[in-house]
Structure 1
Amino acid sequence: MLETVYWDAGTARLLPRLLKGRTRGPVFVTHRRPGPGKVVSPRDVCPDTGLARLSYGQARALLDEHTAVRGPGTGWDLHEYRHSGLTELGVRGASLLMLMAKSRHKKPENVRRYFKPSHESISELTSLLAPGDARR
């Protein structure tokens, strides 16, 4: 089943560099075609270039390699993007149902572990209860 992915304007500016003229197929591809013995789904191969979709493991290794400051294993983690993205959406007022739709979680308790508001956000929320607050 194909799923829709929603991009914002910042991501859209990166797409021409990622796509390099491609108009269909996977967004993130490897630098080479799959080997002759490798069985790959047609959905995982760019029909224009024959390049295969970048696996999660390959993406994780590349991100770590390019963001590591103290050697391998010290760089960013792909899963951190999920945490920070959902937290930012929650802080900006997205409902639990919208967070579930965005993250494709079926249970609210699974989304809650990703939503970690900052101390500043909690403090700001608490200030809504302050006497004399003009926002009430």
Structure 2
Amino acid sequence: MGIERRPAPPDRTKALAENQITALWRLDVALREKTFWEMVYASAARADEVLCLNVDDLYPQDKHGKITAKGGATERIHWQSGTAQLLPRLIVRRIRGPLSLTDRKAPAGTPTLDVCPGTDRARLSYRRAQEIFEENTRLLADALASPDEIEDLHGWTLHRLRHRALTHDAEDGASTPMLLARSRHALVRSLERYAHPGVDAVARHVAERDPAACRRT
């Protein structure tokens, strides 16, 4: 008898709503975080891929950059004007080294590729980037909570930025080939998690089909 194949559990990850993304951009955070979050969202890239970017991997005028994707392949990610406006302020006069840097000098033993030659600061790690994002989004994740409760709250994961970007593309009617190109998934099945419309899209769908609204038009 063959081994019974069990179905994969459903992916319950929810895309962020439009008002949540708007609230995120209004947060008073450091330029490093603002640029990093904007780039992850605009490019729909994985957060760890963006953190691995070096200054010399960027093509600012063309709004794209080279990343090392899963499996080691070199691929391109593309961003929009919001990211393009922030990048020069983040880079300043640096011409090489990690794009996103820590606030302190790199400890002894840090690999050379993860150290900025001009500032001696280290590449920002995924763990620290996730901690910062989670800390800053705790109150956004629970609209009913008060600042006094912040230590007991849980914020968002960085993956939710990518999830929201791809879900938004799907809601706007992006084709399957485009979604595969944006997500850089190899299989169509991998897109299923992004194919579920968010609450804003469902609300628009219902409102557009409201008989009262149809009569007014």
Range of TM-score over shorter length: 0.7 to 0.9
Which residue number in structure 2 is paired with residue 110 of structure 1?
A: 190
Question: 1:76-112 CA deviation, whole Å, 9 max, x = no partner?
Answer: 3211101100011112222112111111211111122
**Higher relative contact order, structure no. (Cα contacts within 8 Å, ≥ 6 residues apart):** 2
Partner of 2:88: 16
Q: Identity over the aligned pairs, expressed in percent?
A: 40
Distance 1:35 1:14 in 2: 28
Unmatched segments (≥5 aa) in structure 1 = 128-136
- How many angstroms apart in 2 are the aligned matches of 1:41 and 1:72? 38
Unpaired runs of at least 5, structure 2: 1-67, 69-73, 140-149, 210-217
**2:157 paired with 1:74:** no
1:49 is matched with: 119
Q: How does 1:65-104 map to 2 (within 5 A)?
A: 65-69=135-139, 70-71=150-151, 74-104=154-184
Q: Which one has the bigger helix percentage?
A: 2
State the alpha-carbon separation in 2 of the partners of residues 72 and 31 from structure 1.
Answer: 27
Number of aligned residue pairs: 124
Identify the residue that residue 130 of structure 1 maps to in structure 2.
none
Cα distance, 1:17–1:71 mapped onto 2, change above 3 Å:
farther
- How many Å apart are 1:3 and its aligned residue? 3.4
In the TM superposition, residue 71 of structure 1 has moved relative to its aligned partner by 2.3
User: Structure 2: how far apart are the matches of 1:59 and 1:89?
Assistant: 25
CA RMSD for the aligned pairs? Answer: 2.5
**C-alpha distance in 1 between matches for 2:202 and 2:161:** 19
Shift in alpha-carbon separation, 1:8–1:106, aligned structure 2, 3 A:
same
Considering fraction of residues, name the structure with more strand.
2
